[in-house]
Amino acid sequence: MSFCKLIGLALMAQLLLGQVVAQERPEGQHRTEGGLVDLDWSFELKAGGKDDQVLDEDGVRGIVPDAVAGFMTPQGLFGTVVVEIEVLDDEAMLTTWLDGLPAGEKRIVERTRFQMGELEGAEVLVEGVVAGEMTVFLRRCILREGYCFQFTIWGPPAKGAEAALRAGAERFQFVDGKVRARWPATALRSDSGPGWRLRDNVYENTAYAIRVGQIPDWVPLTGLLVEAVNPNAYFGLRHERTGAVVLFMATVTTAETMPAMLTDVRQEVESMLGAPLEGGDRDVVISGQKRRFTSHRSPKTKGHRHEFAVWNDGNLCP
């Protein structure tokens, strides 16, 4: 038995590195009367009731690590805004979220389309049991300029809950201005878990015998940060300016089962993307040694490219 290391399964590379253009316009998030406007992602989270609490990026990330804004109401409703690079269409993104929703007894109440100005998106109303309590969720996914904006609002199934969720969803609106990606700035982080540690942005994992040094402009993803991207990944990197993501995964395999495993992974990624992958070998020097990866890449679409590359415990892949 040996570990087969998968690098970049769901590599969301935007391939626009070094092409970020400085723009003379206001940036960041700014408070409005009870709400906020995000001048980079070009959206507004409008004020609700006077006792509602609108959360900016720093405030919401302590609750939902990949969110950029959110709000809470005294009635127990919670809403979040998450932005990702567009890798699938809105319906597929919605299905992916539904499949991963950690709720028991899930039941789709309604799945439909919605309008936001001239744009159209996918919407689902679903209920399920979370922490022993029935909860109702409304999720909206809408694509804009190569990004998928995902607004989720949830709360208890009280009388009028559906109307309250839909009213809450209307608080999220786009504003004029081209979308300009903003990702968390690099900060020296330290973290640890069983068999691994992150010290000043240097990642070491004794279980998989890897070490990833600090890389300029790349943010290390560990713990909840990497699980929010893909629960099967144990480590990740995200580029500050483009949002490109590299995920590290591992699985146990043998020389006999390796070909079937590669075929299964390739077919899974092709099914997700709806397009065939281009195969081939790639030689990469790691720690002074040449490693040959079996690589599969998607065609470049909307500036994005997906790739997964595998090597088997330092040996040549078949």
Read off the pLDDT of each residue in 34-59 and give the average, rounded to a whole number.
91
| Coil, helix or strand at residue 251 | strand
Confidence at residue 1, expressed as pLDDT on a 0 to 100 scale: 40
Mean of all residue pLDDT scores within the chain = 81
Encoded tokens for 304: 């994005």
Grade residue 19 by pLDDT with cuts at 50, 70 and 90. very low
Read off the pLDDT of each residue in 78-89 and give the average, rounded to a whole number.
88
Confidence at residue 27, expressed as pLDDT on a 0 to 100 scale: 82
H or E, element range at 193: strand 191-193
Chain segment 217-251, per-residue pLDDT in tens? 888 888 877 887 788 889 998 887 677 788 888 87
d(C-alpha 152, C-alpha 124), whole Å: 10
Is CATH 3.40.1000.10 the classification given to domain 29-174? yes
Confidence at residue 302, expressed as pLDDT on a 0 to 100 scale: 53
Quick check: 197 and 210 in contact, CB under 8 A?
A: no
Of 6-20, 29-43, 226-240, give the lowest mean pLDDT range. Answer: 6-20
User: What are the sequence ranges of the domains in the chain?
Assistant: 2-19+184-312, 29-174
Grade residue 313 by pLDDT with cuts at 50, 70 and 90. low
d(C-alpha 286, C-alpha 309), whole Å: 14
d(C-alpha 135, C-alpha 185), whole Å: 34
**Residue 295: burial class (beta carbons within 10 Å; 0-12, 13-18, 19+):** buried
Which residue from 230, 306, 236, 310 is spatially nearest to 270, judged by alpha carbons?
A: 306
Q: Highest-confidence range of 46-50, 84-88, 292-296, by mean pLDDT? A: 46-50
| Count of other CB atoms within 10 angstroms of residue 289 | 8
HSE-up of residue 16 (Cα within 13 Å, Cβ side): 17
Grade residue 176 by pLDDT with cuts at 50, 70 and 90. very high
SS3 content of the chain, % helix, strand, coil (to 5): 15, 45, 40
Of 122-126, 139-143, 197-201, 263-267, give the lowest mean pLDDT range. Answer: 263-267
